[in-house]
Chain A
């Protein structure tokens, strides 16, 4: 009884926190604060996964979204100069597009929730040791398995990785065909934006 009460309290706490932070994401005037609020939304949803007993999913959620995606967003905000961009007076077209998109999504979610019957998960709905169960499902090529989607996703990720390398790779200057092509000290670009390096531009001899 106590256990259920504690779970209910936690559920509403996580839910309220997620909603508040989600409001902060869309209302924050500074991009970086919006990114931070997004991190808390993702953490709160990881908490909800925990309440459902999906520990592995919660861990992956924090690892991938908080440790990866949000940090990438923060990096992008810091590296572009749009960080202190305050959208006080957006253009009419932008407001219109935003209104259409948000109302459309609201209608969509409304329809989905109206047609959906949500209840508590059936007892025993999740296996006790869910990490190994997920692993088995992913590599199972029977009717219940997910090996095809798994392989497709890994192919997609591989394509994304190669694309990233192609975009980020520096081509060597044409008159120096045998230079290392971005191998030597220029790799400092990974850690520092170009504008903040104090070395002059140009090929590294």
Chain B
């Protein structure tokens, strides 16, 4: 029995001792294209279907989690009626939402009103496409990965702005303006934090960044600057996804529901879903950049421990770490009170941004003099 276990552990170690070969779905499709067009088409269809399933599954799961976590933080039970512990509550809610009447305000700019939720959703789905879930599970590894993510998230801002503008409602407009101002401000700090990791990893590709963390995750392998960048990124991206304590774009007590006040039915669902999946994207990126992505947790020298850690498949590592970050972001919501608009702007421009620049400069020095922890361990 123990012999079999040891053999299994050794097998796991041997499996993972080699460098992690990354193969994306897009690469497989490109490989199949010259021989068999339909195989390539099948890969693409598979990727699209997977994205669709991911979006709906994540949406429902995260909304259920949010409600349950909120409830338990407040000593409530949360949804309990539909299914055991209410796990089918979001499914029921989704069906209800889909069958609701879709209302467009009479004086709204109809075309833009219809387009806005799609823009928000498109940006979210485009980001899901490049996240490395596991060495074999990534739709496309664009070699400008980090740049692509920051660029595409700009489309989401347009969705929010246009949604608020086209609704012909002052709450919507104020919410949209606040949202856009907040997102484009905090984008600066988030990007500065990303750049630290890009410098250390020496690549913009997300898979490349994950594989660069084989010796240690950047949060501690980049001396101190990695930890600071992690904190800045987590704060700034919590603001970018409009979550408490930075949820003034839809502060219920002031703005009804902010930019999506006038939305109902499917289009409201799109905004709502985009918001929740953006939370997943942020958590996934935090994991990819700072917490080693799908890399297992290793302790230098503790070979037996490392072998056991290697038994857990990379996809499970990724999912577990992401779930942890998602939980922390939800935790924020029940811990910090909402900021005022001016406090929000001051936090970004007078606190986060200077720290971010100083951190970037220190990081550049560290890279220049190769001051890594665990160099080539």
Q: A78-B165, A187-B345, A196-B170 are in contact. Are A67 and B153 (CB under 8 A)?
A: yes
- Can you spell out 13 A-B residue pairs with CB atoms less than 8 angstroms apart? A30-B109, A33-B112, A36-B112, A36-B158, A55-B143, A66-B151, A70-B158, A71-B184, A74-B161, A74-B162, A78-B165, A191-B177, A196-B174
Q: List the B residue with the shortest CB-CB distance to A61.
A: B151
Check if A67 sits within 8 Å of B187, measured CB to CB. Answer: yes
User: Does B154 count as interface, using CB distance less than 8 angstroms?
Assistant: yes
Chain B 10-54 near chain A by CB (<8 Å), digits 1 or 0 = 000000000000000000000001100100000000000000000
Interface hits, A34-71 → B, CB 8 Å: 36, 39, 55-56, 58-60, 62-63, 66-68, 70-71
Chain A 131-142 near chain B by CB (<8 Å), digits 1 or 0 = 100000000000
User: Does B181 count as interface, using CB distance less than 8 angstroms?
Assistant: yes
Check if A190 sits within 8 Å of B181, measured CB to CB. Answer: yes
Q: A131-B144, A191-B182 are in contact. Are A78 and B173 (CB under 8 A)?
A: yes
Docked complex Cα distance between A75 and B181 (Å): 9
Q: A67-B151, A70-B158, A78-B165 are in contact. Are A59 and B177 (CB under 8 A)?
A: no
Q: List the B residue with the shortest CB-CB distance to A56.
A: B144
List chain A residues, Cβ under 8 A from B231. none
Check if A192 sits within 8 Å of B151, measured CB to CB. Answer: no
Q: List the B residue with the shortest CB-CB distance to A58.
A: B144
Interface hits, B297-343 → A, CB 8 Å: 340-342
Q: A55-B143, A56-B144 are in contact. Are A192 and B155 (CB under 8 A)?
A: no
Q: A67-B154, A184-B342, A185-B342 are in contact. Are A131 and B143 (CB under 8 A)?
A: yes
List chain A residues, Cβ under 8 A from B165. 32, 74, 78
Chain A 164-190 near chain B by CB (<8 Å), digits 1 or 0 = 000000000000000000001111101
Which 9 pairs, one residue from A and one from B, show the smallest C-beta to C-beta distance? A67-B154, A62-B151, A59-B147, A63-B151, A191-B181, A59-B144, A187-B342, A188-B341, A185-B342
List chain B residues, Cβ under 8 A from A112. none
> In the complex, how many residues of chain B place their beta carbon closer than 8 angstroms to a beta carbon of chain A?
39
User: Does A3 count as interface, using CB distance less than 8 angstroms?
Assistant: yes
List chain A residues, Cβ under 8 A from B127. none
Return the contact of A66 from the options B158, B173, B174 (Cβ within 8 A): B158
Secondary structure of the B contact surface, majority rule: helix
| Interface residues, chain A, with chain B CB atoms under 8 Å away | 2-3, 30, 32-33, 36, 39, 55-56, 58-60, 62-63, 66-68, 70-71, 74-75, 78, 129, 131, 184-188, 190-193, 196
Return the contact of A32 from the options B33, B112, B157, B187 (Cβ within 8 A): B112
Check if A39 sits within 8 Å of B151, measured CB to CB. Answer: no
User: Does B204 count as interface, using CB distance less than 8 angstroms?
Assistant: yes
User: Does B355 count as interface, using CB distance less than 8 angstroms?
Assistant: no
Docked complex Cα distance between A97 and B187 (Å): 40
List chain A residues, Cβ under 8 A from B153. 67
Docked complex Cα distance between A190 and B345 (Å): 8
Docked complex Cα distance between A33 and B208 (Å): 39
List chain B residues, Cβ under 8 A from A3. 33-34
